Structures are given as structure tokens and as C-alpha cells.
Chains A and B, each alone.
Chain A
Amino acid sequence: MGLFIARRIGKGVVVLLAIVVLNFFLIRLAPGDPALVMAGEAGAADEVFVAQLREKFALDQPLPRQLASYVRNIVGLDLGYSVRQQMPVATLIGDRLPATLLLTGTAFLISLALGVLFGALAARRAGSLADTAITGVALLFYATPLFWVSLMAIIVFSVRLDWLPSFGFETVGAGYAGLARAADIAHHLVLPAMTLGLFFMAVYVRMTRASMLEVMGLDFVKTARAKGLAEGVIQRRHVLRNALLPVVTLAGLQAGTLVGGAVLTETVFAWPGIGRLMYEALLQRDYNLLLGVFVVSSGMVLVFNLVTDVVYRVVDPRIEAAR
């Protein structure tokens, strides 16, 4: 297991390096001088700063040299400086990262739990009214634009019903501490996490249902039934356990979409995470910050993939280290 994790981390580092190289070329796609692009609109006027950037990233050197110095800076966790916000990009992202981890983590767990639950319910009575209803709702959620369902949720649950706060991370100036603060944050988390999770819930419902139906036709399920096991036991112990494997694989593949979706959710709900930071960078055309958030969110996806891979091996010990 240790060797496996080490190998996966090595692979992740290679992918991350490739993403950094991709970033390097993205900056050069922008029209104009890369130093001015990195400085952003606000910093472009400051000639001393632009000259500093040029020196730091070796922009007057040949391209391979530039690439080497760019990669060296990023590897040293120096993501550059945001002139707009007057702060190093790494600090800005570090401040916002916990909120995003809380949001995406909660949304992921909710969507996986509800998705598997409803998918299993639908598969158990395939063709019934409950199955049709669940599949229909899942299809609907699957087609709903994330940003729009967030806005509609605000209209219904905040404006009309006044149950839940529509924006922010916690009540500003309330001075809560300890458990009261946690409860306040949880209260603010409900709408963003639920709306972000809806799409993924739909994905997991469909996957769980299809996967369970497939496993139900296999020989060992017939054997279990022939042994006279109770239907509930067969469903839980024999069918669901095996059907969950492809769902875990899929959950890992969805990580990128989840992190990307957080940009929309955080923008709508003014959630102070890196997604909203990306939106702010976008509005101000702060390319350095924009690319910094991109690298960090890619890193998040890699960590997430690593976790699902490890979980997969725990769930299914048959997979050998050879993979």
C-alpha cells in the first residue's frame, strides 16, 4: 500500500508539473508582452514592477530559460504577486482554500450519500413508479445549469421562505465563537453545498442504478438467492457492495467538475473560497492570480483523485499493486 501511494504521488507530481508548463504557455497566448500580462491591468503602469517581473521570470532570456525559471518559481510555492489585491498570490489562495475545501467536501459527501441511496432504491424496484420518479428527477437535475439552480434556491429558500441565508460564510459582526460559530457556518453552508451537489447526485443516482441492475444479473446473486438469503441482505451485502466500485471510480473522475463548479456556486453565494477568488481575478483581468488559482485547483483535483484511488483499493482488495 505504501509503495502504491508513493507511486501515485509521483505520478501526481508529474501531472502537476505538466500543468505548470501548460500555464507558462497560456500566459504567452495572451496578446502582448508577458510581463505586462503578468502584472495585470493595474500593475502595467508601474515600470519598476514590470522590470522586476521581467528579471524574476527571465523574460529577456530564450524561451527554455524562461520556462525553467517559471517552473522554479512555482515549485518554490511562489505564485507571484497580485498588484490589484496588493498581496502575494499564494497568501490570497491560502486564505481562501479552507472555505472551498469545506464547500466541495460537503457537497461531495451529500451527493454521494444521497445519490447511492436513491440509485439503490430505484434499482431495487426497476420499472416501478418510484424508479420512474427518481430517474426522472435525476435526469432533470443532470440538465439544470448550476448557477441558475443556485439563484432559484435563493429566491425560494431565502427570499420567499426566509429559512436560510443567501450569501456569505457566516453572519458578519455576530461575534459567535465555538459551537455557535460552527452552527452559523453550517447554516450558511446548506444552500451552496446542496445546489453544488445536485448535479453530482444525479450522476451518482444514474451510475448506481445502472451498476446495480448489472450486478443483479450475475451468477453469484442467483446463488445467494438460491441459498434462501433475505432480499434485503442480498441487495446490501452482495449487490450494492459490488455495484459501488464503478461509482467510486466515477466519483474520482468527477473531482475536476466539482472543483470547477465551485467557481459558479461561490460566485452566486459570495462564498469566500478560491472559486470566488477566480471570479474576482477574472473581473479585474488579474492573470497572475487567475493562473495561480488554476494551478491550485488542479492540485486539489490530484489530491482528490489520490484519495479515491486509495479508497478504491480499500473497498476492493482484489486490485493488486501491479496496476
Chain B
Amino acid sequence: MSPAGPARRRGALAAFGRHPGAVAGSAILVAVVAAALLAPLLYPASPWRMVQRPFVPPFTLERVPLGTDALGRDIAAGLMHGASVSLVVGLVSTLAALVIGVPLGALAGYLGGRVDDALMRFTELFQTVPSFALAIVLVAILQPSLSSMILAIALVSWPPVTRLVRGEVLSLRSREYVQAAIVTGQTTFTILRREVLPNTLSPIVVLASLMVATAILLESSLSFLGLGDPNRMSWGFMVGAGRTVIRQAWWITAFPGVVILLTVLALNLIGEGLNDALNPRLARER
């Protein structure tokens, strides 16, 4: 990192703050995180418990502000408890995808030649496969749980990371400071870790924030199909549970969907803001 690093980062923070979408997105995300943290305090009882008669419409009873579902469960409580599942799965699966994707991309870009060829073929294979279908198959076979969902989402979302890192490393490899590091006899691992990868950080951060959004969409889609953790309340599950009674009770499906939409939108806005702030050069390309 150059000595101008901290100053540049402050500039990036200011640029992020000037982006109205990014600020709105951050506000929504903070609210979702707060909901996840406060859920056990505000609604200590299990969100699966029946608290009222079924099909209470929203805004009619103060005790259940958003109404109840077909089994008399509190929708507001479900939304609060569901926040943690979406956040955890979105975050952890993205981190796991980075753990798979970054090393593969770095090796492919840095070593080139046959290694690059083989790794890119492998990446292409995973990019061709219909990712949602593969995720369904994986979770069904591994049995539905939080960890199988995270693993499945990570396994279908790493290829873009590999492609991005490979491209960045490819262009950094010929830089003089990297060549200098090679001449001084440092090992490939050290060069990648200390010279190359830190400089690929900002595009990775941008991609990661967009990947969390996609991961949350995938998680809710899997939960909607009944592949969620059977012990955890999640937004996708709530939409799926309300599906059969949609003609009588629109609110059971409407509210969780709005919450998913807002969360994913918030993460996309943050990603765009980060992109404009960290890669001003690339801002127009996306």
C-alpha cells in the first residue's frame, strides 16, 4: 500500500457518502441487522408458536401488527427472526465463495499456461451448469440445513470471483514491483499474498457486496421450495407457507417478500456505491 492509502480511503468514504442510493441502502441494511439482533429480545418466544387465531389481517390487532398466518403465527415475529437466517447465509456463503474463488483466480492468473487453462475450464463448467438447479440438488442430497444451504450457495457462486481475480492478477503480474519481488527471490505464495492480492481488494469488495445480495435471493428461493433449515424461521419459508392461502390472505406472502426485496435492493445499492467510490474509473462500466 502506498503512503497515500489512508487519505485515499477517506476520499472513498466521502464518495460513498455522496451516493444517495448507497446511503439509503446502508440505512436499510442497518435496520435489517438491528432486526436480527433484537429479535430474541423483542420476540423471545419461538416464531413457530401460535399466538392468535389464524388469518388475523394486518393492522387490526395491536398484539400482532402485521397479522397472523394460517396457523396463527405472528408474522412480525417471523420477519424479525428470519432476518438472521438471510444475513448469516448471505454473508457466510459469500465468504466461502471467496475462499474458493480468490486462490483459484490468483493461481490461474499468476501461473498462466496449462494451470490457467485447466482452472478456467473447471470454472467454465461451473458457470454453465444451471446454478439454482445445482443448488437444489446439493441441498436435497445433503439434507436441508443451514450449513448445507451455505455450502450449496458457495459452490454455485464462486466462478465470477475466480474470473475477476484472474483478470486483475493477469494485469498486475507484469508490473515492475511484482517483477522486482520475483527477482529478489520471494516465493510465489508470498508475492501473491503481499504484492498482488492487496491490490485486487477493491473490485473484490464490490463484487462481494453484490454476491451477498444474490446469495440472499438464492437462500430465500431454496427456503421457498422447502429446502431451508426446518428449525429456523426464514423469509422464503414464510412466502412458501402462505402460497396455498394466497387467495384468502395476501399479507402472509406479501410482507416477507417486501422484506427480501428491500434487503437485496439495499445490498445492490451499497455495491453500486462502493463501486463508484472504490473504482471511479470503472464506475460507468457496470
- Chain A residues within 8 Å of B, Cβ to Cβ: 15, 18-19, 22, 26-27, 29-31, 37, 139-140, 142-149, 151-152, 154-155, 159, 206, 210, 213-214, 253, 255-257, 259-261, 263-264, 267-268, 278-279, 282-283, 285, 287, 290-291, 293-294, 297-298, 300-302, 305
Residues on the B chain within 8 Å of A151, using CB: 239, 243, 246, 253, 257
Q: How far is the CA of A17 from the CA of B226 in the complex (A)?
A: 30
Inter-chain contact B129/A298, CB cutoff 8 Å: yes
Residues on the A chain within 8 Å of B137, using CB: 26, 290-291, 294
- B27 CB to nearest chain A CB (Å): 16
- B231 CB to nearest chain A CB (Å): 19
Inter-chain contact A253/B133, CB cutoff 8 Å: no
Inter-chain contact A139/B265, CB cutoff 8 Å: yes
> Given the interface contacts A152-B254, A294-B134, does A256 sit within 8 Å of B265 by beta carbon?
no
Residues on the B chain within 8 Å of A259, using CB: 130, 133
Count A-B contacts at CB 8 Å: 139
Q: How far is the CA of A139 from the CA of B281 in the complex (A)?
A: 22
Q: How far is the CA of A19 from the CA of B128 in the complex (A)?
A: 10
Inter-chain contact A285/B140, CB cutoff 8 Å: yes
- A214 CB to nearest chain B CB (Å): 7
Inter-chain contact A256/B284, CB cutoff 8 Å: no
One of B133, B213, B268, B284 near A297 (C-beta < 8 A): B133
Inter-chain contact B286/A210, CB cutoff 8 Å: yes
Q: How far is the CA of A261 from the CA of B133 in the complex (A)?
A: 9
> Given the interface contacts A151-B246, A214-B284, A263-B132, does A143 sit within 8 Å of B140 by beta carbon?
no
By DSSP majority rule, is chain A's interface helix, strand, loop, or mixed?
A: helix
Q: How far is the CA of A80 from the CA of B166 in the complex (A)?
A: 40
Inter-chain contact A279/B254, CB cutoff 8 Å: no
B62 interfacial by beta-carbon distance below 8 Å: no
- B169 CB to nearest chain A CB (Å): 21
Q: How far is the CA of A206 from the CA of B243 in the complex (A)?
A: 31
> Given the interface contacts A283-B226, A294-B137, does A143 sit within 8 Å of B132 by beta carbon?
no
Residues on the A chain within 8 Å of B117, using CB: none
Selected interface stretch from B36-44, B174-182, B192-200, B217-225: B217-225
When C-beta atoms are compared, the residue in chain A nearest to B286 turns out to be A210
When C-beta atoms are compared, the residue in chain A nearest to B141 turns out to be A30
Inter-chain contact B130/A260, CB cutoff 8 Å: yes
- Chain B residues within 8 Å of A, Cβ to Cβ: 124-125, 127-134, 136-138, 140-143, 213, 217, 220-221, 224-227, 236, 239-240, 243, 246-247, 250, 253-254, 256-257, 260-261, 264-265, 268-269, 284-286
Q: How far is the CA of A1 from the CA of B224 in the complex (A)?
A: 44
Inter-chain contact B285/A214, CB cutoff 8 Å: yes
- A202 CB to nearest chain B CB (Å): 10
Inter-chain contact B128/A305, CB cutoff 8 Å: yes
Residues on the A chain within 8 Å of B260, using CB: 145, 148
Q: How far is the CA of A263 from the CA of B213 in the complex (A)?
A: 20
Inter-chain contact A26/B138, CB cutoff 8 Å: yes
- A76 CB to nearest chain B CB (Å): 22
Residues on the B chain within 8 Å of A302, using CB: 128
Starting from the known contacts A145-B220, A145-B257, 5 additional A-B residue pairs (CB-CB under 8 Å) come to A37-B141, A143-B268, A145-B217, A147-B220, A282-B140
Q: How far is the CA of A88 from the CA of B269 in the complex (A)?
A: 47
Top 8 nearest A-B pairs by Cβ distance?
A: A260-B132, A148-B257, A143-B265, A143-B264, A260-B130, A256-B130, A259-B130, A30-B141
Q: How far is the CA of A26 from the CA of B260 in the complex (A)?
A: 30
- A104 CB to nearest chain B CB (Å): 11
Residues on the B chain within 8 Å of A267, using CB: 225
Q: How far is the CA of A257 from the CA of B243 in the complex (A)?
A: 23
